[in-house]
Amino acid sequence: MSDEAGKPEALTQVESDRQLCLIRVSPSGQYLCGGTYDAQIRCWNPAELVAEPVLRISGHHGWVQWLEFHPQEDILYSCDTWGMLAAWQLRENQAELLWQQEQAHDGWIRSLAVSNDGSVVITGGRDGHVRLWNAADGQLLQDAIADGQEVYAVAVHPGSQEFVSADLFGVLRRWERGQEQCVSEVRLEGMHLFERDQDLGGVRQLIFADEQTLVCSGGEPKQTGNTIAVPVIHWLSWPALETAESLRLGDEQQGYVFDLCRYPDDQWAAVTSGQPGKGQVMLFRRGDEEPWFRHTALTNCHSITVLADGHFVAAATNRNSQGNGAVRDKEGNYLGNTTPLQLFSPGSAATAE
């Protein structure tokens, strides 16, 4: 990191011809991995970013919704919308399947996280379950039932035996290892909307900033049909689950925070996606009233991941991705959408005088 304040600059951009749900960088920095809408994991070398992936991993089904790396090793944990959970060792542009659970959940696994020590993987699914897995061998450690409601996000507490989940209705649940019932729950008003026979859930991600702070991101939905929501991040006290601070990242056209991650120097990086052509890449600190960096050239951004040196990559959607009827090329082929991957140089906020 440079000591001088400076805004990140957009460097290389490459395009994945298949849309990606989420991207993550391996601890070694060798692999930038993304889960696609068609059951693949694609891996690129961030140091030499070109369109052609260095590795494609198949074996999943549906969408590869979420993936996370082991904190120290290039072991990738991935889950999909048909209920499969898997662990892969990445080495020399090859992937070795370490273990897999074909039916870790009944259907869509919405979220996955790895404990700070790398020993536990947590998943939450549409089936209303929160499950803990032994990261080494994939054995089920605990099955918690979150009232049968769709679980949208999960995280493992860094310093205790506790873990947390959030559901479609904006309810946060605090769990303790070995206990069947959740220890406490709290509802985040504004992160759920029921309208025209539809439940819209705004909680998309949970991350422990430290042992006392849980960060919850997503949006405050305002309307069904289109993506109308105010992107929001809440900092909550742990274990009380009281909202200490909130940051709203834009107007209701900007939609949801789709992805959030730590950025060097106690900062955060987030991306949003809302109405077509809306959504941004942002960097900020807790306490900021306004992100100090906003990048608006990429739109409908779905994921962001940070390299060790402060470079970061955002995954977005091509422009003009929306349209009624069939969009075809000159040969008459039906055209789908793509995911541009944009590499940024590091940046840092100007420090207050």
Partner 1 sequence: MNGCGGSEHQFSRRQILGSMAAGTAAGGFGSLLQHAAADELQQANDKQVLLIWLDGGMSQLESWDPKPGTHYGGPYRSIPTSLPGIHVSELMPQLAQRMDRLAVVRSMKTEDPNHSSGVPKILRGHPRDRGVVYPYFGAATAHLLGPTPSRLPPYVWVKPGNGGFISSHAGFLGPKYGALALGGGKPPQNLQRPAAISDELDELRHRLRERFNQRYAAGRRPQVSEAGSHVYDLAQTLMKNVDLFDVDTLPAVERDRYGRHELGQHTLLARRLLEAGVRFVQVTSYGWDTHGDNFNAHATRVPRVDQAVSALLDDLQDRGLMERILVVVMAEFGRTPRINGSVGRDHWPNAWSLAMAGCGIRPGVVLGETLADGTDVNSEAWDIGALFHTWYTALGINSQEAEFMNGTQPLPIAHDDMQPIPELLA
- List contacts with partner 1 (CB under 8 A): 18-19, 37-39, 61-63, 65, 81-82, 107-108, 126, 150, 168, 195-201, 224-228, 255, 273-277, 279, 299-300, 302, 316-318, 321-327, 334-337
Cβ closer to partner 1: 62 or 264? 62
Separation of alpha carbons 82 and 59, rounded Å? 12
**Nearest distance in Å: CB 270, partner 1:** 17
Q: How far is the CB of 142 from partner 1 (least distance, A)?
A: 25
Looking at the Cβ atoms of 334 and 351, the one nearer to partner 1 is: 334
The pair of structure tokens assigned to 334 is: 């039906």
> Cβ of residue 132: shortest distance to partner 1, in angstroms?
23
334 vs 352, beta carbon nearer partner 1: 334
Q: Which is nearer to partner 1, 93 or 103 (CB)?
A: 103
Q: How far apart are CA 102 and CA 97, in angstroms?
A: 13
What is the per-residue DSSP string for 66-77? Answer: EEEE-SSSSEEE
CB closer to partner 1, 287 vs 325: 325
- CB of residue 103 to partner 1, shortest distance in Å: 11
Is beta strand 20-25 parallel, antiparallel or unpaired with respect to 66-69? unpaired
Smallest Cα–Cα separation from 70: which of 36, 31, 35? Answer: 31
Strands (E), 202-352: 203-210, 213-223, 228-237, 243-248, 256-263, 267-273, 281-285, 293-295, 303-306, 312-315, 339-344
Closer to partner 1 by Cβ: residue 241 or 270: 270
Identity of residue 255? G
* 125 versus 346: smaller Cβ distance to partner 1: 125
Find the shortest distance in angstroms from Cβ 72 to partner 1. Answer: 31
User: Closest CB to partner 1 among 90 and 146?
Assistant: 146
CB 336 within 8 A of CB 37: no
CA dihedral 189, 169, 23, 314 (to 10 degrees): -30
Least CB distance from residue 89 to partner 1, whole Å? 25
The 10 Å CB-count burial string (b at 16+, else e) for 34-64 is bbbbebbbbbbebeebeeebbbebebbebbb
DSSP summary character for residue 334? B
User: Hunting for tokens 């273990």 — which residue is that?
Assistant: 99
**Cβ of residue 225: shortest distance to partner 1, in angstroms?**
5
* Minimum separation from the CB atom of position 61 to partner 1 (A): 6
